[in-house]
């Protein structure tokens, strides 16, 4: 359980950084604090277990932004920004899964 919290915290922090870097809502461009995407990052972390592929990841991220803001205020679903965000989060998520599986195998030995 402790390991799960550490992984969730790691994902949360790295996703926040990814979102701030790609800045789909232009918060960084307005010099807002780096924690401005914390709510969206937490929602994305919560949805990771339901994501099965990169397309699901992109759609989930878009849905998070629509829920947190209004659809009229977010970039269109087809915007490349979501693709870049999804690819980075997908790669990070795959790393975490591999690490977790490796640690689980070590614990079994």
**The domain that contains 39 carries what CATH number?**
1.10.340
The whole-number pLDDT of residue 7 equals: 73
The whole-number pLDDT of residue 105 equals: 72
Q: Does a structural domain hold residue 43?
A: yes
Q: Does a structural domain hold residue 36?
A: yes
State the chain's maximal CA–CA distance in angstroms. 53
Q: What is the DSSP letter of 76?
A: P
CB 15 within 8 A of CB 92: yes
pTM above 0.85, yes or no: yes
Segments forming the whole domain that contains residue 11 = 2-94
CA distance 77 to 82: 7
Q: Does a structural domain hold residue 40?
A: yes
Report how many domains make up the chain. Answer: 1
Q: Does a structural domain hold residue 99?
A: no
CB 47 within 8 A of CB 75: no
Q: Does a structural domain hold residue 105?
A: no
CB 20 within 8 A of CB 36: yes
Q: Does a structural domain hold residue 34?
A: yes
Of the listed ranges 31-35, 39-43, 44-48, 75-79, the least confidently predicted one is: 75-79
Q: Does a structural domain hold residue 8?
A: yes
CB 82 within 8 A of CB 75: yes
Question: Does residue 5 have a pLDDT over 60?
Answer: yes
Of the listed ranges 54-58, 63-67, 77-81, the least confidently predicted one is: 77-81
């Amino acid at each position: 359980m402790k390991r799960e919290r550490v992984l969730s915290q790691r994902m949360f922090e790295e996703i926040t950084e990814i979102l701030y870097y790609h800045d789909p809502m232009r918060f960084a461009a307005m010099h807002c604090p780096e924690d401005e995407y914390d709510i969206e990052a937490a929602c994305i972390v919560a949805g990771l277990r339901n994501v099965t592929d990169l397309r699901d990841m992109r759609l989930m991220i878009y849905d998070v932004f629509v829920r947190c803001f209004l659809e009229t205020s977010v970039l269109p679903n087809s915007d490349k920004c979501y693709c870049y965000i999804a690819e980075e989060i997908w790669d990070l998520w795959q790393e975490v899964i591999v690490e977790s599986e490796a640690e689980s195998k070590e614990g079994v030995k």
